[in-house]
Amino acid sequence: MKHLRKRVLVTGGAGFLGSHLCDRLVERGEDVLCVDNYFTGQKKNIEHLLGKPNFELLRHDITFPLYVEVDEIYNLACPASPIHYQFDPVQTTKTSVHGAINMLGLAKRTKAKIFQASTSEVYGDPTIHPQTEDYWGHVNPIGYRSCYDEGKRCAETLFFDYHRQHRLHIKVARIFNTYGPRMHPNDGRVISNFIVQAIRGEPITIYGNGGQTRSFCYVSDMIDAFFDLMATPEDITGPMNLGNPGEYSILELAQTILKMTCSPSEIVFKPLPPDDPLQRQPDISFAKKILEWKPKINLQEGLEKTIRYFQNGHLP
């Protein structure tokens, strides 16, 4: 029997990126199954969708198999900030590796197209700048960040082996820093950290001298790219860098947020944690060529929307 609507599974659907993806899928009229174990995802991120006839929520940990019927899978499940993924590093690795095996097995059985939310962290502390997809990375396999970095690298291996061995229809995206409303206020990420500290008038904590650089992509631009990549022909597998190539120093970001929030906060400097990348900037030539995609929202506009979200009662 042919289904009129696509049945789309989103793992990690109550998280930051996952909830925005669920919003857009529901708007498109797809039948959406949102799966989350609420380790970092929050039910409040998707509670506005609970009454929709084409939205379903399931509490489940993808390190255990899931038996459902689906046409597409977006595998976003995994804590993505150091504070959260280092809390239980063994579970973080299991989520990336066992979770990938379970979702790939589901895709194989249902013949579903499957999207893997990989990460710029597969490049580690890069020795080339900006990072291109053919760069293999510079990763410490036994460090504090390894549970996430190596877990995601292994997940990519599994996706490509399932593609070669079982002809699975895969899409692998390497996601660079993304921000916007519904960021977890306690996740330790630089934008949410700075905004929360600035609004509360607390010291802005910078690790290192603030000279390290990052690139920040607003969430709506990232979700656009997810859809564009998922719609590509079967021979386009990725991995594909997705992010905003605009590069800013951490000190520059802190000063911008202080100005935009009119905060009296002072900036304080603390030691840099081990294996923290000094530079992180995507080369998105591949995405521009294949998807004809590039970010539309500049940092100022995106920060305004994100600051407004935290000012409207979303502080921890």
- Tokens describing residue 211: 């000279």
Percentage of residues of the chain with pLDDT beyond 70: 98
What pLDDT was estimated at residue 81?
74
CA-to-CA distance for 266 and 248, rounded, in angstroms? 20
Answer whether residue 220 shows pLDDT above 90: yes
Collapse the DSSP code of 233 into the 3-class scheme (helix H, G, I; strand E, B; otherwise coil) and give the result.
coil
- Tokens describing residue 289: 């060529």
What pLDDT was estimated at residue 2?
54
Answer whether residue 313 shows pLDDT above 80: no
Q: How confident is the model at residue 185 (pLDDT cuts 50, 70, 90)?
A: confident
Least confident of 128-137, 259-268, 275-284: 275-284
For residues 243 and 132, the answer to whether their CB atoms sit within 8 Å is no
Q: Which amino acid is at 57?
A: L
Q: 302-314 as b/e, with b when 16 or more CB fall inside 10 Å?
A: bbeebbebbeeeb
Answer whether residue 273 shows pLDDT above 90: no
What pLDDT was estimated at residue 186?
81
Alpha-carbon torsion, ordered 119, 106, 61, 15, to 10 deg: 40
Nearest to 80 by CA among 177, 14, 197: 177
The H or E element spanning position 240 is strand 240-242
Q: For residue 256, count CB atoms less than 10 angstroms from its CB and return exposed for 0-12, middle for 13-18, buried for 19 or more.
A: middle
With left for phi above 0 and alpha for psi between -120 and 50, is residue 44 left, alpha or beta?
A: alpha
Place of tokens 């579970």: 91
What pLDDT was estimated at residue 28?
97
Average pLDDT of the residues in 38-64 = 96
Average pLDDT of the residues in 222-236 = 98
Average pLDDT of the residues in 87-102 = 95
CA-to-CA distance for 212 and 149, rounded, in angstroms? 19
Mean pLDDT of the chain: 94
CA 270 to centroid of chain Cα atoms? 26
CA-to-CA distance for 139 and 119, rounded, in angstroms? 13
CA-to-CA distance for 118 and 121, rounded, in angstroms? 8
- Tokens describing residue 134: 């053919």
Domain boundaries, the chain: 7-180+217-245+280-296
What pLDDT was estimated at residue 135?
96
In the chain, how long is the greatest CA-to-CA distance?
63
What pLDDT was estimated at residue 182?
96
CA-to-CA distance for 272 and 281, rounded, in angstroms? 19
Answer whether residue 3 shows pLDDT above 70: no
Answer whether residue 1 shows pLDDT above 70: no
Domain 7-180+217-245+280-296: CATH architecture, name and number where available: 3-Layer(aba) Sandwich (3.40)
Q: Which amino acid is at 230?
A: M
Q: Which residues are catalytic?
A: 148
What pLDDT was estimated at residue 148?
93
Average pLDDT of the residues in 302-316 = 90
How much is the pTM? 0.94
Answer whether residue 99 shows pLDDT above 80: yes
